[in-house]
């Protein structure tokens, strides 16, 4: 059974850097074909894709946020870390990580999600 | 504004059939598979349909998906009160919009 759990600060100040950690079990990011992604959802709004990292360290980012995002993995700790620089109040959202069971992009989907962590950006 | 277009709301009475549409373009739905996620109030999204029409284990067969050209649809038959949720379509996008695009979500109300 795959589980994922997001962790990080609940409150950050504008211009600060946000660091979120996704800790998972039941999967290994050293296994061929596996990926972990990040998605966020501002209060009352739609889901927004952020980034994905695959077992082979291939990374993809949202074009609109690419300059601010960095995704890394620590296979030994079963963790994926997302950093977002220069935080702004519009970045206030619930941030989710999710498991991607395929590297075939045209078949891309997220089959298991974490419960999410809420981040508020305010001074 | 979302890359994939969904109606903001839909409704039906218990037992009815409802459909939710998702419109995209050749760079996303037109060339990649569509997935649907269900988000019950106050919870994380859950995969409902993948690869256009495949149901993960545990998803009732009341839920079905289809795709034609650059559009996709989610159908729910035998509507139940517990189906009241937000529904999102998503797909890989081969253009600069990508790599993954979502619809704006459809809030389904069971009357």
Specify the pLDDT at position B96.
Answer: 74
Please state, in angstroms and rounded to a whole number, the distance separating the CA atoms of residues A105 and A112.
17
What strands, in cross-sheet order, belong to the sheet with B71-76? Answer: B18-23, B71-76, B63-68
Model pLDDT, residue B99: 85
Q: Cis omega (within 30 of 0) on the bond before B99?
A: yes
CA distance A14 to B92: 31
pLDDT tier at A104, thresholds 50, 70, 90: confident
Give me the pLDDT at residue B1, please.
Answer: 83
Where does the pLDDT of residue A103 fall: very low under 50, low under 70, confident under 90, or very high at 90 and above? confident
Is it the case that residue B17 has pLDDT exceeding 90?
Answer: yes
- Round the CA-based radius of gyration of chain A to a whole number and report it: 14
Mutation to test the B interface, candidates A109, A111, A114, most B Cβ within 10 Å: A109
3-state helix, strand, coil in chain B (%, to 5): 5, 50, 50
How far from B45 is each of A15, A76, A115, B39, CA to CA, in Å?
29, 28, 8, 4
Per-chain mean pLDDT for chain A: 95
A58 reaches B (C-beta below 8 A):
no
Residues 6+ apart with CB under 8 A from A41: A47, A48, A93, A94, A96, A116
Give the total residue count for chain A: 123
pLDDT at A105 over 90: no
Chain B residues within an 8 Å CB radius of A62: 99-100
Band the pLDDT of A87: cuts 50, 70, 90: very high
Any B CB within 8 A of A1 CB? no
Report the relative pairing of strands B9-12 and B106-110 from DSSP bridges: parallel
- Do the chains contact at B51 and A107, CB–CB below 8 Å? yes
pLDDT (0 to 100) of residue B97 = 64
State the best of A99, A108, A114, A115 to mutate against chain B, taking most chain B CBs within 10 Å: A108
Question: Which position has the token pair 């937000």?
Answer: B86
User: Looking at residue A74, what is its pLDDT?
Assistant: 96
* pLDDT at B41 (0 to 100): 94
Lowest mean pLDDT among A41-55, A93-107, B14-28, B50-64: A93-107
Spatial neighbors of A64 by CB under 8 A, at least 6 apart, are none
CB pairs under 8 A between A and B: 70
> How far, in Å, CA of B61 to CA of B88, rounded?
18
pLDDT score of A96: 98
Other C-beta atoms within 10 Å of B94: how many? 17
Provide the pLDDT for residue A107.
82
Mean pLDDT across B65-86: 98
Give mean pLDDT, residues B42-56: 97
Q: Which is nearest to B87 in space by CA: B42, B52, B36? A: B36
Question: What is the mean pLDDT of the segment spanning B90-111?
Answer: 91
**In the predicted structure, residue B24 carries a pLDDT above the cut 70:** yes
Residue found by looking up tokens 């700790």 in the block = A77
Q: Mean pLDDT across the stretch B14-41?
A: 97
């Amino acid at each position: 059974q795959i589980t994922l759990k997001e962790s990080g600060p609940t409150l950050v100040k504008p211009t600060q850097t946000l660091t979120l950690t996704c800790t998972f079990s039941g999967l290994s990011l050293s296994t061929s074909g596996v990926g972990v992604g990040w998605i966020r959802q501002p209060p009352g709004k739609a889901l927004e894709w952020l980034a994905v990292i695959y077992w082979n360290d291939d990374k993809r980012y949202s074009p609109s946020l690419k300059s601010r995002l960095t995704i890394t993995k620590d296979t030994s700790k079963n963790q994926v870390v997302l950093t977002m620089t220069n935080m702004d109040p519009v970045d206030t959202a619930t941030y989710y990580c999710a498991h991607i069971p395929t590297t075939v992009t045209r078949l891309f989907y997220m089959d298991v999600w974490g419960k999410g962590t809420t981040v508020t950006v305010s001074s | 504004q979302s890359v994939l277009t969904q109606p903001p709301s839909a409704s039906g009475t218990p037992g009815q059939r409802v459909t939710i549409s998702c419109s995209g373009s050749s760079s996303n739905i037109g060339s990649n598979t569509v997935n649907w996620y269900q988000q019950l109030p106050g919870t994380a999204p859950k995969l409902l349909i993948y690869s256009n029409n495949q149901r993960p284990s545990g998803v009732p067969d009341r839920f079905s998906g289809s795709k034609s050209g650059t559009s996709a649809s989610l159908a729910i038959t035998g509507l139940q009160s517990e189906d009241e949720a937000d529904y999102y379509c998503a797909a890989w996008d081969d253009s600069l919009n990508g790599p993954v695009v979502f619809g704006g979500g459809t809030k389904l109300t069971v009357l």
